[in-house]
């Protein structure tokens, strides 16, 4: 938590994630909300972390959540959306993968070992640290939670199971978790992202509220922390006061790790500034006319800028170049009296087929 005491003596925390906010929002909407809903958001989040590559104290996080769908088709849709986003960025299944597990597996093993249900979420939070802190320390924390050595062994051996078949051998082929995992993999393959996903029993995720399938996107080179993480959290809304459980699943996809990955792969998109039109008044007497042209262009939905100060033409054109303008629209006295302006195409714009290329007179009405 990024928390502190304000000058007024209030203890506050900056939002570390969006999911509790989403839960409150859903509850506020109450019955007026027709389920299922699919929502996304791009919140800024803060965590008081040790800063490392891809880990910041402040980041933006794309969230996508599906509310009201109890079946794994929700998780399938979410994971495929994350894969599609990465594919659009130029990444492939050789660059990234999505590790899939179900918390229901560990929950069953822990329950069979006699651990009371309220200890399950803390167990997951501790187990999630397995890759970050020494194993002995994890085991120590589990002991401190009141788990004896045989339970700790049962947990660690479950985390190292290698396939859904091994899970099935342990908890039974008809177990809900096994059926859900098998359906999930079948459906993701049917959608076409089968080679992006893999089963990994060690993924439990560090947030207490997950109840079913959990997943994490990782870089296959193993250099970075998780690119994205999510899962099913059917109990969270009850925690915030919902009279009945509402099935939810979602993920958070941060901006920092993906940028590092895209930079490594030389896939960072060029986000060069681009303006459709730069309007250039020939001189200050033409500024009122230039402003009319500017307004007309903006009303058409074009991004348009204007030279704000008296500038020589060559300086105006070098400004146009600096802002990446596609067209220069010169408003000069003679043309203006004929209801025309001079349009010069400076570069190939997003719109492609611009009407002029080297300073042609264009009727203002046709701009």
Q: Report whether 18 belongs to an annotated binding site.
A: yes
Q: What angle do CA 40, 44, 50 make, to 5 degrees?
A: 125
C-beta separation of 286 from 92 below 8 A: no
Q: Does position 19 bind ligand HAM by CB under 6 A?
A: yes
182 in contact with ligand HAM (CB under 6 A): no
Nearer to ligand HAM, 65 or 276 (CB): 65
Nearer to ligand HAM, 28 or 308 (CB): 28
**129 binds ligand HAM per the rule CB under 6 A:** no
State yes or no: 319 annotated in a binding site: no
Nearer to ligand HAM, 38 or 47 (CB): 47
| Nearer to ligand HAM (CB atom), residue 181 or residue 261 | 261
- Asked if 219 touches ligand HAM (CB under 6 A), the answer is no
Residue 179 sits in the site that holds ligand HAM (CB under 6 A): no
Closest to ligand HAM by CB, 125 or 275: 125
What would the two tokens of residue 267 be?
A: 């896939």
CB nearer to ligand HAM: give 229 or 349: 229
| Token pair 């051998």 in the structure block, residue | 169
Contacts with ligand HAM in 46-65 (CB under 6 A)? Answer: 47, 49, 55-56, 59, 61, 63, 65
CA angle 218–222–227, rounded 5-degree value: 25
Q: Residue 211's closest CA among 230, 233, 237?
A: 233
**Three-class DSSP category at 76:** helix
Of 85-93, 96-104, 167-175, 253-261, which part binds ligand HAM (CB under 6 A)? 253-261
CA atoms within 13 A on the CB side of 228: 28
254 binds ligand HAM (CB under 6 A): yes
How far is the C-alpha of 231 from the C-alpha of 225, rounded, in Å? 17
Report the half-sphere exposure of 161 (CA within 13 A, side-chain side): 24
Q: Which stretch binds ligand HAM (CB under 6 A): 26-34, 185-193, 223-231, 356-364?
A: 223-231
Token match 């230039």: residue? 290
Q: Is 224 in the site for ligand HAM (CB under 6 A)?
A: no
Cα 151-156-159 angle, rounded to 5 deg: 125
Based on the shown chain and the rule CB under 6 A, indicate whether residue 212 belongs to the binding site for ligand HAM.
no
| CB-based contacts of 75, cutoff 8 Å, min separation 6 | 184, 212, 213, 215, 231, 232, 249
Structure tokens at 128: 């999630």
Rg (CA), the chain: 28
Instruction: Tell me if 180 sits within 8 A of 70, measured CB to CB.
Output: no
In the complex with ligand HAM, the residue whose CB is nearer, 23 or 105, is 23
CA angle 243, 125, 84 (to 5 degrees): 80
| CA pair distance 317, 297, nearest whole angstrom | 19
Work out which of 237, 256, 316, 332 binds ligand HAM, going by CB under 6 A: 256
Q: Which residues pair with 232 in a beta bridge?
A: 249
Interaction of residue 265 with ligand HAM, rule CB under 6 A? no
3-state secondary structure of 85: helix
Euclidean distance between CA atoms 358 and 343, whole angstroms: 8
Contact residue for ligand HAM among 212, 250, 281, 349 (CB under 6 A): 250
Q: How far is the CB of 19 from ligand HAM (least distance, A)?
A: 4
Interface with ligand HAM: number of residues (CB under 6 A): 24
Instruction: Provide the β-strand partners of residue 328.
Output: 278, 344
Decide: is 320 part of the binding site for ligand HAM (CB under 6 A): no
Residue 64 assigned ligand-binding role: no
Residue 83 makes contact with ligand HAM by CB under 6 A: no
Least distance between ligand HAM and beta carbon 138 (Å): 18
Residue from the set 67, 181, 188, 230 that interacts with ligand HAM by CB under 6 A: 230
Q: Are 49 and 57 in contact (CB under 8 A)?
A: yes
**Binding residues for ligand HAM (CB under 6 A):** 17-19, 47, 49, 55-56, 59, 61, 63, 65, 207, 226-230, 250-254, 256-257
**Residue positions in the annotated binding site for L-histidine?**
17-19, 47, 61, 65, 205, 209-210
**Residue positions in the annotated binding site?**
17-19, 47, 61, 65, 205, 209-210
């Amino acid at each position: 938590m990024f928390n502190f005491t304000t000058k007024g003596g209030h203890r506050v925390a900056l939002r570390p994630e969006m999911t509790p906010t989403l839960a409150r929002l859903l509850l506020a909407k109450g019955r007026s909300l027709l389920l299922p809903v699919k929502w996304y958001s791009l919140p800024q989040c803060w965590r008081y972390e040790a800063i490392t590559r891809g880990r910041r104290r402040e980041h933006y996080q794309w969230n996508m959540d599906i509310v009201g769908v109890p079946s794994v088709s929700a998780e399938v849709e979410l994971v495929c959306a994350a894969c599609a986003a990465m594919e659009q960025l130029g990444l492939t299944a050789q660059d990234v993968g999505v590790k899939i597990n179900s918390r229901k597996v560990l929950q069953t093993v822990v329950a069979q070992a006699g651990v009371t249900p309220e200890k399950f979420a803390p167990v997951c939070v501790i187990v999630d640290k397995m890759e970050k802190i020494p194993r002995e320390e994890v085991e120590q924390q589990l002991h401190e939670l009141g788990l004896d050595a045989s339970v700790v062994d049962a947990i660690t051996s479950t985390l190292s199971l290698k396939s859904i078949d091994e899970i099935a051998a342990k908890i039974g082929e008809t177990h809900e978790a096994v059926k859900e995992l098998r359906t999930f993999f079948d459906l993701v393959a049917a959608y076409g992202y089968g080679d992006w996903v893999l089963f990994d029993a060690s993924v439990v995720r560090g947030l207490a509220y997950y109840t079913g399938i959990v997943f994490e996107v990782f870089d296959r080179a193993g250099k970075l922390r998780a690119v994205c993480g999510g899962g099913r959290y059917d109990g969270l809304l009850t925690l915030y006061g919902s009279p009945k459980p509402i099935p939810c699943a979602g993920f958070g996809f941060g901006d920092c790790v993906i940028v590092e990955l895209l930079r490594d792969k030389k896939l960072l998109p060029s986000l060069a500034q681009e303006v459709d039109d730069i309007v250039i008044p020939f001189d200050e007497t033409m500024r009122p006319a230039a402003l009319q042209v500017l307004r007309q262009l903006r009303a058409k939905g074009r991004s348009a800028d204007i030279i704000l100060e008296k500038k020589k033409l060559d300086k105006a054109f070098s400004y146009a170049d600096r802002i990446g303008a596609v067209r220069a629209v010169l408003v000069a006295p003679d043309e203006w009296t004929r209801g025309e302006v001079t349009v010069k195409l400076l570069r190939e714009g997003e719109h492609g087929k611009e009407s002029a290329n080297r300073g042609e007179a264009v009727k203002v009405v046709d701009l």
